[in-house]
Chains A and B, each alone.
Chain A
Amino acid sequence: MGIFLAMQGAVAQGVLWSIMALGVLLTFRILNIADLTVDGSFATGGAVTAVLIVNGMNPLLSLLIAFLVGMMTGLCTGLLHTKLRIHEILAGILTMIALYSVNIRIMGKANTPLLGVATVMSKLQDSFGMSPNIASLLTGIVFSAIIVLLMYWFFGTEIGSAIRATGNNERMVRALGVDTDSMKILGLMISNGLVALSGALVAQSQGYADVGMGTGTIVIGLASIIIGEVFRGKHVSFGGYLIAIIAGSVVYRIIIAIVLQLGLKSTDLKLLTAVIVAASLAVPVLKEKTARRRLPGVLPGMSLSDHETPQERNPTDDAANTANDKEGM
């Protein structure tokens, strides 16, 4: 029974955190920017919603405000990166560090409990007699479904296409008349808005906001994306991709729940997550290396007499290109 409850909780948390993963997907995969702001903006979302609810605001409305404040954090990173030409990673770190102070300012202290006040989840529990986990799960499913639909629509629009293309080939997009700086800023804003929304939902679900709740968010987001991409088939639509990321976030939480059941301390989780991400990033590289070893002398630069490091190339692309060239073009 303990395990069943733990799994239920894991799935619910996974869905709530998946909205953050979708935000990280936007920057990391679509815009091709590694944005570390999220560690700060996740906690900002929690802080904003907690303070607003404690002061009597409708918990649903507070989620919207958390989203908007999250967008402001993305705007900050975006301006640092595009207008002041600060490296994307450093720009994100600067905003993230600044947000630590800002989040404490928002709450007035490092921690805001939500005891005895109505959250979206507590209202569901009271009205329909749901268990906390089910209430969180239901809220998460509704919100992630809305977000997936909105993202699916948005990235099919002219602006959405321009953002996708910016992450793909900035120079080409500028040559086609798109202000790539604006596209990056907009992408960072939406991404951090989603991350803050996720933080707000998590805060409401767990019943408190804490200044440290965002630590490691980026790595959790990456882990969810990487796990999600394992589920994604080769030719899945964009909508399918988004749903796969949600599944990735859920599976990540289930893995965490299992290792906790096996007796690992919760403080070990960050190490575990880092190992998962590093390992998944390493797999394709290691695969390629072993593939090369099996074909000595076949690939250019791989013969024994040749001590040069082989060039990083995409073998499939090259093969396709030469094949096509032979047909005339």
Chain B
Amino acid sequence: MLKLFNVSKIFDPGTITEKQALADINLELEDGDFVTVIGGNGAGKSTLLNLIAGVHFTDTGSIFLDGMDLTGLKEHVRARYLGRVFQDPMMGTAANMEIEENLAMAMRRGKKRGLGWGILPSERVLYEEKLAMLDLGLETRMKNKTGLLSGGQRQALTLLMATLKKPKLLLLDEHTAALDPKTAKKVLELTEAFVTRDHLTTFMVTHNMRDAIRYGNRLIMMNEGRIVYDVRGDEKKNLEVSDLLKKFETVSGGGFANDRMLLS
């Protein structure tokens, strides 16, 4: 499904702020894998996601999706195959545009856009149906600007947009980090429901160890630009937060104490 070979990334090479963000990452995702990715700040989780999405290009190595070489493709070309939800709830929707307009944009992901109408009357019925599944009452507010929605509503809408046209790979970049715990839980439940229903291969970056254990069938831990732990199946299911903490301490030489993670 997704294959990464020897992927490296250095930011600001040759300057005083040079940082090796990723070092020789090799990773293979099976079809239908739901991978949660954890690690401290600067571990390279989001960089890895952004390299897959095409926000940055890799320095070395290559990225394949379903046999296609994505390595040199621009972000908007890769978007044809990828669904994305961002950490910042503002990032996922166009605030000045209506809910239905945002959905119509998402519906046309990967399609050539022409001078046909941006939204057809027939689509509205579909969107109403899909919005009703979120159970947030958004189906009655389709003409509202998304700027009027709360952070949780926006993330739920972005999730719907990312999966409206089934992506080959769903990329979630700490998409519940900016939400309060209750809302975060709801958005994660929606995520799981969508992933299960459409059998989506998913790459979910998170800061929350409990979520990383609870959701998905595989867990990856990153540290200093490397994958340091990779579990799946029953072993992953039986993990405890304390196991992960212990693991973290060993890989980071005991110096690990990221309060954001400890609290979560």
Give residues in A with beta carbon < 8 Å to B. 154, 156-162, 164-165, 168-169, 171-180, 317, 320-321, 324-325, 328-329
Chain B stretch 99-135: residues in CB contact (< 8 A) with chain A:
101-102, 104-106, 108-111, 113-119
User: Within the assembled complex, what's the spacing in Å between the Cα atoms of A159 and B53?
Assistant: 23
User: Within the assembled complex, what's the spacing in Å between the Cα atoms of A175 and B49?
Assistant: 13
Quick one: which of A164, A168, A175, A329 contacts B150, CB cutoff 8 A? A329
Can you give 21 contacting A-B residue pairs, CB < 8 Å? Answer: A158-B116, A158-B118, A159-B114, A159-B115, A161-B101, A164-B94, A165-B97, A169-B93, A169-B95, A174-B75, A175-B79, A175-B86, A176-B108, A177-B79, A177-B80, A178-B76, A320-B148, A320-B150, A325-B150, A325-B183, A329-B156
User: Within the assembled complex, what's the spacing in Å between the Cα atoms of A176 and B53?
Assistant: 11
Closest partner residue, chain A, to B96 (CB atom):
A168
Report yes or no: B94 in contact with A169, Cβ–Cβ below 8 A: yes
Report yes or no: A176 in contact with B97, Cβ–Cβ below 8 A: no
Q: Tell whether A159 pairs with B76 under 8 Å between CB atoms, given A317-B147, A325-B151.
A: no
Closest partner residue, chain A, to B171 (CB atom):
A175
Nearest CB in chain B: distance from A5 CB, A: 42
Most-contacted residue by chain A among B91, B95, B108, B150 (CB, 10 A) = B150
Nearest CB in chain B: distance from A85 CB, A: 15
Give residues in B with beta carbon < 8 Å to A. 53, 74-77, 79-80, 82, 84, 86, 90-97, 101-102, 104-106, 108-111, 113-119, 136, 147-153, 156, 161, 180, 182-183, 186
Report yes or no: B109 in contact with A177, Cβ–Cβ below 8 A: yes
Report yes or no: B76 in contact with A174, Cβ–Cβ below 8 A: yes
Say whether chain A's binding surface is mostly helix, strand, loop, or mixed.
Answer: helix
**Chain A residues near B180 (CB-CB < 8 A):** 325
Please provide the 4 A-B residue pairs with the shortest distance between their CB atoms, ordered closest to farther: A161-B118, A324-B150, A177-B79, A168-B94
User: Within the assembled complex, what's the spacing in Å between the Cα atoms of A221 and B47?
Assistant: 42
Report yes or no: A328 in contact with B182, Cβ–Cβ below 8 A: yes
User: Within the assembled complex, what's the spacing in Å between the Cα atoms of A321 and B180?
Assistant: 12
User: Within the assembled complex, what's the spacing in Å between the Cα atoms of A179 and B111?
Assistant: 12
Report yes or no: A176 in contact with B136, Cβ–Cβ below 8 A: no
Report yes or no: A176 in contact with B79, Cβ–Cβ below 8 A: yes
**Chain A residues near B75 (CB-CB < 8 A):** 174-175
**Chain A residues near B101 (CB-CB < 8 A):** 161, 165
User: Within the assembled complex, what's the spacing in Å between the Cα atoms of A76 and B110?
Assistant: 28
Q: Tell whether A158 pairs with B108 under 8 Å between CB atoms, given A180-B76, A320-B150, A321-B151.
A: yes
User: Within the assembled complex, what's the spacing in Å between the Cα atoms of A161 and B105?
Assistant: 8
Report yes or no: A324 in contact with B79, Cβ–Cβ below 8 A: no
Report yes or no: A164 in contact with B151, Cβ–Cβ below 8 A: no
Quick one: which of B84, B119, B147 contacts A175, CB cutoff 8 A? B84
**Chain B residues near A156 (CB-CB < 8 A):** 117-118
Quick one: which of A157, A158, A164, A174 contacts B79, CB cutoff 8 A? A174
Taking A158-B114, A180-B76, A329-B186 as given, write out 19 further A-B residue pairs in contact, using a Cβ cutoff of 8 Å, ordered by the A residue number. Answer: A156-B118, A157-B117, A158-B113, A161-B97, A162-B105, A164-B94, A168-B97, A169-B94, A169-B95, A173-B105, A175-B53, A175-B82, A176-B79, A176-B105, A177-B111, A178-B76, A178-B79, A321-B150, A325-B183
**Chain A residues near B104 (CB-CB < 8 A):** 161
**Chain B residues near A180 (CB-CB < 8 A):** 76
Q: Tell whether A162 pairs with B86 under 8 Å between CB atoms, given A169-B93, A329-B150, A329-B152.
A: no
Nearest CB in chain B: distance from A327 CB, A: 8
User: Within the assembled complex, what's the spacing in Å between the Cα atoms of A161 and B96?
Assistant: 11
**Chain B residues near A324 (CB-CB < 8 A):** 149-150, 152-153
Quick one: which of A164, A169, A176, A328 contacts B106, CB cutoff 8 A? A176
Nearest CB in chain A: distance from B55 CB, A: 8
